[in-house]
Amino acid sequence: MNEYLPGLAGVPATQSNISNIDGEKGILSYRGYPIEQLAAHSTFEETTLLLLDGVLPTAGELAAFEAHSQRNRRVQYHIRDLMKTFPPTGHPMEMLQTAVASLGMFYPSNVSGDSSGDELDYIHNMSVKIISRMATIVAMWQHIRHGYEPVDPRPDLSYAENFLYMFNEEEPDPLLAKILDVCLILHAEHTINASTFSVLVNGSTLASPYSVISAAIAALSGPLHGGANQKVLEMLAEIGSVDKVEAYVDNKLANKEVIWGMGHREYKTKDPRAKILEKMVDEFIEARGGEVNPLFEIAKEVERVCEDRLAHKGVYPNVDFYSGILYSEMGIPADQFTAIFAIARSAGWLAHWREQLVDNRIFRPTQVYTGEPVRDYVPVNKR
């Protein structure tokens, strides 16, 4: 019990039935359902309800959830006015963390931790509201930071469609809306990662859900967690062309530098989410008549070269490798990629928040002390 393991690697922090990873076989499942099946047949709304409640909803339950979510897409004008005071150069993740934290002042909440039926209803209701408003806030910022009024949400559109409509102020392309919907499903949950662990720790104190999700957003903002998809696009742009890929990769490996989007601590094979995204890239190119963004071609070559150099080490593309390129095709700037990750992951975060509160105990880990032994204080004039 006194052994120190950096990063708590391999140390179970909780028991959960929300999602599972088999890193050796490259399998990810939500509530037992393989991610491939959810990506092919589900929607983000249905997947969110599955994560929150633990079962696939009936048609009536799903319709009621969708209506509940649509009613809660708007935020009070105070939030909009507050966002107008933020510096326009601020990173969207810093904006999102601040805005979500501020929601608690306008929509007060109180978690009792008694696990009663009323408490569970309250937790579910708060979860729906936060998930619904996350997308609204991110889309609002895209306009506010450029000096324009945000676009009002539309209740007649799906979650993904409404986000693209609010973000780009135009009718969403059905193909891009479907791609975004799948991306949201793929990013919705991934067991106990850094941001989800922050949910458990903060939730265990009975902090408000807004504070809990704000803390998770902060954890996700780091480039070693959610910020990697933005780094991937920057890397591909830096490479510039397919013929420069091999030299770029070899130089990075020789200098022991990060190749963004490659490798994942949990997977010894290719990330199953990356496989789905790569297939969507191919389908997107085919649907566009073979018209290819040069970044797609560069990414394919980076993957080929990295597979040749790194496959024997179990290093393959992860979910961040292709998601940013797809987001850029939707008209989304690179600095918003991680905010979209947060929109999706809010579903998993809030599922874990609920699970923590049902059988709650505040986190209080120990440490391995490496400091000085007990000693006497020395007055300043004798030092």
**Does the active-site annotation cover 190?**
no
Identify the helix (H) or strand (E) that includes residue 21. Answer: strand 19-22
Q: Which of 187, 264, 271, 352 is catalytic?
A: 264
Strand ranges in 104-254 using DSSP code E only, listed in sequence order: none
Residue 10 Cα distances to 6, 14, 31, angstroms: 10, 12, 21
User: What phi, psi does 89 have (nearest 5°)?
Assistant: -85, -5
**What's the one-letter identity of residue 39?**
A
Pair of tokens at residue 95 = 């904006």
Dist. CA 347–CA 188, nearest whole Å: 6
- The CA R_g of the chain, rounded to the nearest whole Å, is 22
Dist. CA 348–CA 99, nearest whole Å: 20
Pair of tokens at residue 300 = 């394919």
Identify the helix (H) or strand (E) that includes residue 29. Answer: strand 27-30
Query: Do the Cβ atoms of 225 and 316 come closer than 8 Å?
Result: no
| Nearest alpha-carbon partner for 101 in 134, 52, 68 | 134
Which residues, at least 6 apart from 372, have a Cβ–Cβ distance to it below 8 Å? none
Q: Which of 187, 271, 320, 352 is catalytic?
A: 320
**Does the active-site annotation cover 41?**
no
| Nearest alpha-carbon partner for 158 in 96, 215, 73 | 73
Show which residues are catalytic: 264, 320
